[in-house]
Structure 1
C-alpha cells in the first residue's frame, strides 16, 4: 500500500461542454443541475462545504450510504458486526467493485481510506475527518476489515459513509477517483462541474444518463432564467415565489424537509455577544414566523433549538416556542447587560445564497426595534468559508447547517474543541454529555441526553435557530427518477429521460 500525503489544492482540469440534451430512449443524454456555489474542494476527506458534498455524492461512496428516506444502508460493505462494547466494527467488504481508474477495490484500499480519514498514516498530524479520530487501528483479514476504537462508540456507524478511495492515487483532490455512479470529468471555474457515466458501476443498469453537469449560476434569479430557457433541467433550493413562476407543464416542483438548520450564528467570543444576556435578547427580538414568511413564503419549520424536528424523538418538542418575540424583554436584557441604548453589529452573509441574504435583511429590520443596529456585509462563498467559518473572524452570520441524518452529527459540532464549532460555543456539561452518548447503548437514555443538550444550549442562548427550510426543487417534466433527500444531496444515479 502506498501511504501518501494528499495535496489539497486543485491543479487544473479541462472543460467539457455543458449544454443540456435529451434522449429518446430514456437512457443516455445530459442532465444539467443549477447551483449557485463555486466548488472549493474535491478531496472527500477534507470537504467542508455542503455544496461540494452534494456534487461529489455522485462520485464517492463509503462502506455505508444514506438513501432518500434517511435510512443508513450497506454500500461498499455488505454487512457490519459491532462488538458488544462498541469498540470494534468489523465490515464485510463488497466484492466486484471497481474504481473509476479501472482498478479493483480491495480491502487494502478500505484500510488505506479509513486510516487516512482517521489520521493514522505515516506523516499525518491528525484526523482529516475529526469524527473518526477515535480509531486506533484498521486491519484486513480476508474479505473483512476490522476497525478498532480507543473507547466504546455506539454512534459511529453513520460516519462510515466516509469515502473509500484508491491508495495509489497521489492527489485525490486533483484526481477525484471513487466508486460512485459517475466519474469526475472536469471543473471549469465559474462555469461547471461535469460528471460522466460510470460504465463499470457495481449497481447493474445504473446510472441511466451519460453525463451530469452542475452549472454554476451567478445567483438564483440567473438560474431561474436558464431553467425557464431549458438550459437547466434541475434547480434545487428555490424560494417559493420563484417556484411559483414556473410553468407546471414544464416543471414538477418537489418539496421536502431538508433537515437543515438555518442559524443566525452569534460568535460567542466577540463582545458584546460573549454575554449570555445579549444573545438571549437577540433571540427574543426576532420573529421566526415573520422571517419564514418573508424568506420562504411560509415553507419552513420554525426552530427554537439546534436540531430539526426531522430527527424524530431526539428532537425535544417541549422547547418549541421558548423565544416568542418580546421586544420589551429584549430591551430589558440589553439594559441589564449594560447596553440600554443597544449596539451596532455586522451580519456577514454569503452573497450566493438568496435565502440567507433575505434573512439578514429581515433580521436587520426586526433587531432595530430593540436598538440593535445591523450592517449587512455580503461576501463571496470562498471568503465566507475561509474567514467566517474556518477563521471565525466575524460577529454574526446567517447560514444553514447540514449534517448526516443522525442526531450525534447534528450536535457534535458544539463540542468546545470541535473544528466545526464556528460559533465558539462552550459548555462543560455539553462536552461531558457528548463524550457520554457514544458509550450508551440504551436509546431511551441517549434520547434523554440529546434533550438535555438542547435545553442547555437553549438556556445559554448559544445562537438564534430560525428554521428548517423546505427544499424546493424544480425538475423538468422531461425527466424522472429524481429523489429528494432529507439532507444536502443531489443524487442523479436514477435520473433518466422519460
Structure 2
C-alpha cells in the first residue's frame, strides 16, 4: 500500500527516535520551490499515515519502586510544554500558551463552578447579580466587590480598578485580541474603533485611529466608561449592556480578558491612565512591544518570578493570598519542543506533566498508566502495569479542534508562496479566493487516515465549525475524501497563467504553516501535501514549522496554515465569530472577502439574540449550509481528550482543573503525596 516516505520518516522519528535524541528547532527558512516537472496522470492510492509504535520504558530493578511514583520535590510543579506565550498582558493575550499562566496570576469577578462549564461562582464579586432590563431594552448588572483583596505588590483592590480593567480590555485590543468578546456584549461591535467609525475603516489600524477626529475619539471612549461605572463608597461596579446577551456570564468567567488589573501599577509602568484623550495611543500595540508584555501584578495565588523567552516561565506562590498560600510553591513551565525529551523527563520523574504533540502520543503515555479512571465518577481501577506511574481519565468533553485555514490574500511580499505567481513555482496571493480551489482542497484531504492513524481511531468527523450538541450542528453536509472530485474542482478553477495555461496544466507550489512541536498539526500538513501530490504531480505543498510566537505573527502570510481553536465560552457564537465575521480572530487574519462575511453576518446576529434553542438551531443550520458551500476552510475532526497525571498528584479531579474550559493547570488546588 502506498506510503509517503517523508511522512513516515518525520513522524516516526518524532515519536520513537525522539525518545533517545533531542533535536533543536532550526531557524524557519522558506523552502525554495522545486523544479517543475511535466504533469503525469497520478496513480491514486490510499493515504497511509505512519504507524506509531510504543517505546517500552526500561524496567526498574525488581526491588525498587518505579521511578516517578514519588515526587522529587512536593513543593515544585514542573510542566514541560512546547510553545512560548505571546504576551503576559491579560487583556491582550489570546493564545493557548499564555492563558493557563495568566489564570494562575489574575482573577475576575466570577469563575467556573468546578467542572461545570455553564455554572459560575463569585471570585472578586460578593455575589452574582440578577440582570435588570430597562424599557429601552438595555440590561444592567450591579456587582458588589469583596473587601480585603490586595494585588501582588500590596496595592488594595478598588472598584475603580475593576471598571478600569473593563475599559482597558475593550479599548486597547485590536482584532488579534479577545476584546471583541466584551465589545459585542456591551455595544454589539467587534472592535473599539467601530465606536469611532461604524463602517469599520479603522479596525486594526492604529495609525489611522490616531488621525481620527479628537472629539469623536474622546466620545467613543466615554461611551465605554459610561457602560462600566464604579462607586467606591458603595463598593459597587455597574455594567450596562445595550441589549440582553445570553453568554454574558460565560464571557466574564471565560478568560483573562475579564480579569482585574491594578490601575495605579499599570500607570506607573507606562500603560494607559484611563484618560479618554489618550486611549488611541495604546490601541493595537504589537504584542512583541507591549508595555506590560513581561510584567504582571494580579490578585491571584501565583506571582511571576521570571520569564526567559523560549526557555521557561516560573511562577511562585503568593504568600499573601487571601485564601492562604498555595501548597505548590513554585510552578515551572519549560519550553521543550521534542515529545521524546518531554516523555523521557516524565519517565525519570523530572516532569510532573507534559504536553502531547498529538493524539498519537497517547500510545507512549499509556505505557506508563497504572490507573484508569472514570471521568464522571472519579473512580479509578488498576491496570495490569505494575510499573506504571500515571493515572488517566478518558472521555473528557472536547472543546477544541484543529482545522486548516485558507488565506484569501497573503499580501504581495509573502515568503511562503514561492514566486507569488501562477507559473508552477508559486501561487498568487489571492489563490484561495477561487471557490473551486477551496473545494478541491476539501475533497483532497484524507479525513479517514487522519482519524484512524493520527487520532488512533478516536476522532469523529466534524459536521460544522461548531461542536456536536450545539444548535444547528446536526444534518450539516460535509466533504468526503474523493480525489476524482478534487481533480474535477481543480480543472474548474478560474486561475490561468499569463500565457493562458490552466492551473491544472501548469501546477503550483506553496508552503503550509504549523507551530513547531505540534506533531498532530504536522501530520495534517503532511497528509494534505501527500494527497495534493497524488492528484497532480505538478502540485507541491511544503510543510513548514515555526516557533509558536513567530507562527502567530506570520501565519496570515501562508497560503494556508493549520491551527486550533479552544472555546472561550460554551456557545456556538464563540465559534462563528472568530471564523466567519469581518473582524474575527481567523477570518480577519485570513482576509475573508466582505461578500462572505456580509452573507454570514445576519445569521450570526440573529442566532446570538435568539433565546429559543429550536429557533436558534434553524438559524444556525442555514448558516452551516452556506459555510459548507463556500468552503472557507477544511473542517477536520474531534477526538475526546484524555488527561494524564502522576499518581502522587492530588486535587485535579475535585476542582476547576477538570472543567473542559480551563486550559492547562490551576496549581492552587494541587498537592503532592
Query: Which TM-score bucket, shorter chain as reference?
Result: 0.7 to 0.9
Residue of 289, 293, 299 corresponding to 1:173:
293
Aligned to 1:80: 129
Residue of 522, 528, 547 corresponding to 1:363:
528
Residue of 630, 644, 654 corresponding to 1:474:
644
- Partners of 2:302 and 2:318 within 8 A in 1: yes
Aligned to 1:68: 115
Per-residue deviation at 1:435?
Answer: 2.9
Residue of 140, 164, 168 corresponding to 1:112:
164
1:180-329 correspondence runs (5 A): 180-202=300-322, 204=323, 207-237=326-356, 239-246=361-368, 248=370, 249-255=388-394, 256-269=396-409, 270-309=429-468, 312-314=469-471, 316-319=473-476, 322-329=478-485
Q: Distance in 2 between matches of 1:442 and 1:91?
A: 28
Deviations 1:323-360 (CA, angstroms, capped at 9, x unpaired) = 12111111111111244345433211211212111221
Deviations 1:112-168 (CA, angstroms, capped at 9, x unpaired) = 1011111189xx999971222354321123232112234553333322231111111
Aligned to 2:487: 331
- When residues 314 and 63 of structure 1 are mapped into structure 2, their CA distance, relative to the original with a 3 A threshold, is farther
Aligned to 1:5: none
- Partners of 1:165 and 1:177 within 8 A in 2: yes
Per-residue deviation at 1:384?
Answer: 0.8
Per-residue deviation at 1:247?
Answer: 5.2
Q: Distance in 2 between matches of 1:261 and 1:315?
A: 18
Per-residue deviation at 1:262?
Answer: 0.7
Q: Distance in 2 between matches of 1:364 and 1:302?
A: 20
- When residues 89 and 433 of structure 1 are mapped into structure 2, their CA distance, relative to the original with a 3 A threshold, is farther
Q: Distance in 2 between matches of 1:380 and 1:125?
A: 22
Aligned to 1:427: 597
Per-residue deviation at 1:21?
Answer: 12
Aligned to 2:558: 394
- Partners of 2:521 and 2:562 within 8 A in 1: yes
1:403-442 correspondence runs (5 A): 403-404=567-568, 405-413=570-578, 414-421=580-587, 422-425=589-592, 426-442=596-612
Q: Distance in 2 between matches of 1:435 and 1:401?
A: 21
Q: Secondary structure at the match of 1:55?
A: helix
Q: Distance in 2 between matches of 1:64 and 1:463?
A: 35
- Partners of 2:143 and 2:238 within 8 A in 1: yes
Aligned to 2:43: none
Which of the two has higher C-alpha Rg? 2
Q: Secondary structure at the match of 2:90?
A: coil
Task: State which drifts further: 170-179 or 229-238.
Answer: 170-179
Which has more strand, going by share of residues?
A: 1
Q: Distance in 2 between matches of 1:300 and 1:493?
A: 33
TM-score w.r.t. length of structure 1: 0.86
- Partners of 1:86 and 1:153 within 8 A in 2: no
Q: Indicate the RMSD between aligned Cα atoms, in angstroms.
A: 2.9
- When residues 448 and 100 of structure 1 are mapped into structure 2, their CA distance, relative to the original with a 3 A threshold, is farther
Task: State which drifts further: 157-166 or 292-301.
Answer: 292-301
1:372-391 correspondence runs (5 A): 372-388=539-555
Q: Distance in 1 between matches of 2:146 and 2:532?
A: 55
- Partners of 2:529 and 2:540 within 8 A in 1: yes
Q: Distance in 1 between matches of 2:330 and 2:472?
A: 39
- When residues 427 and 119 of structure 1 are mapped into structure 2, their CA distance, relative to the original with a 3 A threshold, is closer
- When residues 247 and 440 of structure 1 are mapped into structure 2, their CA distance, relative to the original with a 3 A threshold, is closer
Aligned to 2:250: 158
Unaligned runs of 5+ in 2: 1-67, 187-223, 270-291, 371-387, 410-428, 495-502
TM-score w.r.t. length of structure 2: 0.64
